[in-house]
Structure 1
Amino acid sequence: MHPTNGRVNGHHRRNGTPRYSAWSLVQHGLTGAEWSRAWRAHPMRKSYDVVIVGGGVHGLATAYYLATNHGIRNIAVLEKGYIGGGGSGRNTAILRSNYLTPEGVRFYDRSIKLYERLAADLNFNVMFSQRGHLTLAHNDASLRTMHWRAEVNKLQNVDSEVIGPDKIKELVPYLDTSTTTRYPILGALYHPPGGIIRHDAVVWGYARTADANGVHIHQKTEVTGIDVEGGRVTGVQTDQGRIATPVVVNCTAGWATLISDMAGVRMPVQTFPLQAAVTEPVKPFLDTVVVSGTLHVYVSQTDRGELVFGASVDPFASYSMRGSLEFTEGVAGHVLELMPAVSKMRLLRQWAGLCDMTPDYSPIMGPTEVEGFYVDVGWGTYGFKAGPVSGEAMADCIANQRPPEIISAFGIDRFLQGRLVGEKGAAAVGH
């Protein structure tokens, strides 16, 4: 593949990425012809203008927007495993913008807007399904928080409202909205723009288009050190050799503190496992994402028909990504309290990912005290929602050497200055 428009391997290109005709698709199916690589494997250069550590949605989006919005193309994305194999491949891909603080609502709403047009921008179907998002309230305190969030959302022109049990029952007939349950449903925050997306498609789309714009993606390349001289970044050490660069961007999840420590920058972050599980596929019946903060559970149904379950992070800091029986028993019990009719469904598998939690449940974004070292970390359980806007904002920050207003509240200096952006009321369960 060549990063220019025209014909490549017999296929037309659009915006630098291949576009296959219906006939070419049939030809491939009938003849078994080899498909073009979605992104290429390049020899590593001795120097790059920007080195991004982390080949997930945040790292790839940052590279994509640097190339397309700012014309910076001499970029390396370093991934110690394979593209999308970390948090981007282990999340449950729920999107929403109904957060609690004005800063958070504006930020995530911009991300939803970018997601809405992402398939067209990348010329790749990311399968975004805006099916609506329900956050249930089981007591008076939760209901007050839902009203609070709804008003903050409305002030930011985000579609959210508090609805009662009758409306909830119309949206999700299988929910038990009776008053005799252990945790009766008093109401819910309804957010129509929310939904689910195909997380691997998002990663592949960003990687393919970044590659077409000249970005070098290096898989199986582990960062072992960051060179700092005189208070500024000069290079990156990897298991494939040294790269000279004036700019390093830490876009890792789970390993954010390790990478930042290499540059001498301390992060107020703790890492916790987050577990999820999926059932056998059944005929679609759940059109809306359902979240319960009281029960610490959320559930959605994929386009293939599986139910995807999740909970809050494990109660202990760890780098383990093994599932536990305690999680399975807990999430199954809580889901059955909400929807008893799914009791016959079989659980197929479970997994875990790593979440970097900050004290105020908001990310850390922007420059650090080391010149040329930028961070886009601390995403907890809500990083995939923010992929596009984070990439756009970090690209702006790097190109113009100052944080844009949309991320100005998320700088690392807020912890020293007491300017916390408290999102626990909207992010404690994570979805």
Structure 2
Amino acid sequence: MPLRLLKYAWKKSEDEPRFFPDEKPLKKAYDVVIIGGGGHGMACAYYLAKEHGITNVAVLEQGYIGGGNTGRNTTIVRSNYLTSEGVKFYDESLKLFEDLSDDFDLNIFYSTRGHFTLAHTDSAMRTMRWRAEVNKHHGIDSEVVDVETIQKEVPYMDMSCNGQHPVMGALYHAPGSVARHDAVAWGYARGAQQRGVEIHQKTRVTDIKTKGGKVVGVETDRGFVEAKKVISMVAGSTPRITEMLEIETPIEIFPLQACVTEPVKPFMDTIVVSGSLHVYVSQSSRGELVMGASVDPAELHSTRSTLDFVEGLTDQMMDLFPFTSRLKIMRQWAGMSDITPDFAPIMGKTDVEGFYLDAGWGTWGFKATPISGKTMAYTVANDTPHELIKPFSLSRYTDFKLVGEKGAASVGH
């Protein structure tokens, strides 16, 4: 037995501090209330305290920390987007991810794998070349590779795709990575609490109160709380929050499903995505194949997973990786994707003074966790949008300045 473990056996009591401190009573007033205790909400609270000295902050979560979309994604981190706005934004997020384990003093299992986005058609290859050139323009390590290169790096994949959709090439994004989603939320939450932020789980916001066009507080199932500023960071629950203030957004909610197989000996050290087949797969540190597809075709506010999803996904997976036919699906789940018409987020100030919105994350919210929290904290602290999120304002839909990110964000990964 290691000496480090043996010493605990002889101790009468363990004085190791709790990961999360005991929850405090809900106060009557806060400078900032963040609605949503997922990765984005926790990151925003962390950076408000760490970089702006704003600690009189309450994070209100109707469930538990990271229990929404943060715990219902497939953990992929990348910055190989199509637009300049998207590339710059997600590249900053990726850089922040690389240092989070040190920042938190917590292993988030960040692992750089390399990310292949497969192309099965001529039009898909044109899009890959387009994305590669945009990426290179901004110093992002992405390039178009041929079938021989893919076969060398992913020898266990059937390039003919069972004769159905032969692979013609791919966009290879070397910085593509994975991280443990729970650890990211926990790290931000613990760091925020250590700096004085309060986190209140099982606290549902039922209304947002205003006076003279300005936010004055929130009504919860535990009573009214005064607040100078309120931030909504609730992903698939966004329409419920914005309706309280009669704010119209073009967001639609679609379920996004995923699943994992039984653990097997590690063999897959890359991330493989097929934009045409709408499938993607990576292998977790525990040996599971983490797999997903595109969002469901019908709008629905639900986290129920379906047999139809598994049947469709596994059919495509077996075309790409025939040997997976022997694997058992261990569990499946769904999240609620809040999707915008141009497949880019909505971030920043609103027409209601003191109310800020972080939404429209669709299938790409986890990878934006650090930069979302950092830029929204700056925006709230200074009451002016951070430079990186100015293109993502809600007003772009009335100003006809859409971002147009569908070519790189419409696959559920």
State the Cα deviation string for residues 306-325 of structure 1 (Å, max 9, x = none).
00110000000111211111
In the alignment, the residues of structure 1 paired with residue 271 and residue 80 of structure 2 have an alpha-carbon distance, to the nearest angstrom, of: 13
Asked whether the equivalents of residues 263 and 373 of structure 1 are also in contact (C-alpha less than 8 Å), the reply is no
Q: Structure 2 matches for 1:341-420, cutoff 5 A?
A: 341-420=323-402
Choose from 228, 236, 252 the match for 1:246: 228
Asked whether the equivalents of residues 271 and 280 of structure 2 are also in contact (C-alpha less than 8 Å), the reply is yes
Alignment-derived partner of residue 191 in structure 1: 173
- Runs of 4+ in structure 1 over 4 Å off: 22-32
Asked whether the equivalents of residues 28 and 35 of structure 1 are also in contact (C-alpha less than 8 Å), the reply is no
Alignment-derived partner of residue 15 in structure 1: none
Asked whether the equivalents of residues 28 and 34 of structure 1 are also in contact (C-alpha less than 8 Å), the reply is no
- Secondary structure (helix, strand or coil) at the match of 1:111 reads helix
Q: Where do 5+ consecutive residues of structure 2 fail to align?
A: none
1:93–1:26 distance in 2 versus 1, CA, 3 Å:
farther
Alignment-derived partner of residue 309 in structure 1: 291
Choose from 122, 141, 144 the match for 2:123: 141
Given residue 338 of structure 2, which amino acid in structure 1 is its aligned partner? Answer: D
Alignment-derived partner of residue 20 in structure 2: 39
Superposition deviation, residue 401 in structure 1? 0.9
In the alignment, the residues of structure 1 paired with residue 9 and residue 365 of structure 2 have an alpha-carbon distance, to the nearest angstrom, of: 37
Asked whether the equivalents of residues 52 and 77 of structure 1 are also in contact (C-alpha less than 8 Å), the reply is yes
State the Cα deviation string for residues 154-206 of structure 1 (Å, max 9, x = none).
00101000001111011111111248721010000000101110000101100
Choose from 235, 242, 247 the match for 1:260: 242
> Are 1:279 and 2:261 an aligned pair?
yes
Q: Which moved more, 1:396-405 or 1:407-416?
A: 396-405
Alignment-derived partner of residue 207 in structure 2: 225
Q: Where do 5+ consecutive residues of structure 1 fail to align?
A: 1-21
Alignment-derived partner of residue 191 in structure 2: 209
> Are 1:292 and 2:274 an aligned pair?
yes
1:30–1:100 distance in 2 versus 1, CA, 3 Å:
farther
CA RMSD of aligned residues (A): 1.4
State the Cα deviation string for residues 300-339 of structure 1 (Å, max 9, x = none).
1000000011000000011121111111110000001111
1:30–1:291 distance in 2 versus 1, CA, 3 Å:
farther
> Are 1:121 and 2:106 an aligned pair?
no
Alignment-derived partner of residue 19 in structure 1: none
Asked whether the equivalents of residues 33 and 60 of structure 2 are also in contact (C-alpha less than 8 Å), the reply is yes
- Secondary structure (helix, strand or coil) at the match of 2:170 reads strand
Superposition deviation, residue 96 in structure 1? 0.4
Choose from 97, 104, 113 the match for 1:131: 113
Q: Structure 2 matches for 1:56-67, cutoff 5 A?
A: 56-67=38-49
Asked whether the equivalents of residues 280 and 306 of structure 1 are also in contact (C-alpha less than 8 Å), the reply is yes
> Are 1:70 and 2:58 an aligned pair?
no
1:30–1:262 distance in 2 versus 1, CA, 3 Å:
farther
In the alignment, the residues of structure 2 paired with residue 28 and residue 113 of structure 1 have an alpha-carbon distance, to the nearest angstrom, of: 38
Superposition deviation, residue 35 in structure 1? 4.4
Asked whether the equivalents of residues 37 and 59 of structure 2 are also in contact (C-alpha less than 8 Å), the reply is yes
- Secondary structure (helix, strand or coil) at the match of 1:67 reads helix
Superposition deviation, residue 27 in structure 1? 4.4
1:26–1:58 distance in 2 versus 1, CA, 3 Å:
farther
How many residue pairs get matched? 410
- Secondary structure (helix, strand or coil) at the match of 1:254 reads helix
1:387–1:29 distance in 2 versus 1, CA, 3 Å:
farther
TM-score normalised per structure 1: 0.93
Asked whether the equivalents of residues 162 and 320 of structure 2 are also in contact (C-alpha less than 8 Å), the reply is no
1:262–1:26 distance in 2 versus 1, CA, 3 Å:
farther
In the alignment, the residues of structure 1 paired with residue 263 and residue 281 of structure 2 have an alpha-carbon distance, to the nearest angstrom, of: 14
In the alignment, the residues of structure 1 paired with residue 109 and residue 14 of structure 2 have an alpha-carbon distance, to the nearest angstrom, of: 26
> Are 1:103 and 2:85 an aligned pair?
yes
- Secondary structure (helix, strand or coil) at the match of 2:30 reads coil
1:23–1:184 distance in 2 versus 1, CA, 3 Å:
same
1:95–1:276 distance in 2 versus 1, CA, 3 Å:
same
State the Cα deviation string for residues 205-264 of structure 1 (Å, max 9, x = none).
001110000000000000011001111100010011111011000000111011111122
Percent identity (aligned): 55
Asked whether the equivalents of residues 275 and 313 of structure 1 are also in contact (C-alpha less than 8 Å), the reply is yes
In the alignment, the residues of structure 2 paired with residue 259 and residue 30 of structure 1 have an alpha-carbon distance, to the nearest angstrom, of: 52
In the alignment, the residues of structure 2 paired with residue 236 and residue 321 of structure 1 have an alpha-carbon distance, to the nearest angstrom, of: 26
In the alignment, the residues of structure 2 paired with residue 180 and residue 221 of structure 1 have an alpha-carbon distance, to the nearest angstrom, of: 50
In the alignment, the residues of structure 1 paired with residue 183 and residue 70 of structure 2 have an alpha-carbon distance, to the nearest angstrom, of: 10
In the alignment, the residues of structure 2 paired with residue 240 and residue 201 of structure 1 have an alpha-carbon distance, to the nearest angstrom, of: 28
State the Cα deviation string for residues 82-124 of structure 1 (Å, max 9, x = none).
0000000111111100000000000000000000011111111
Choose from 33, 49, 53 the match for 1:51: 33
- Secondary structure (helix, strand or coil) at the match of 1:73 reads coil
Given residue 396 of structure 1, which amino acid in structure 2 is its aligned partner? Answer: Y
TM-score normalised per structure 2: 0.97
- Secondary structure (helix, strand or coil) at the match of 1:207 reads helix
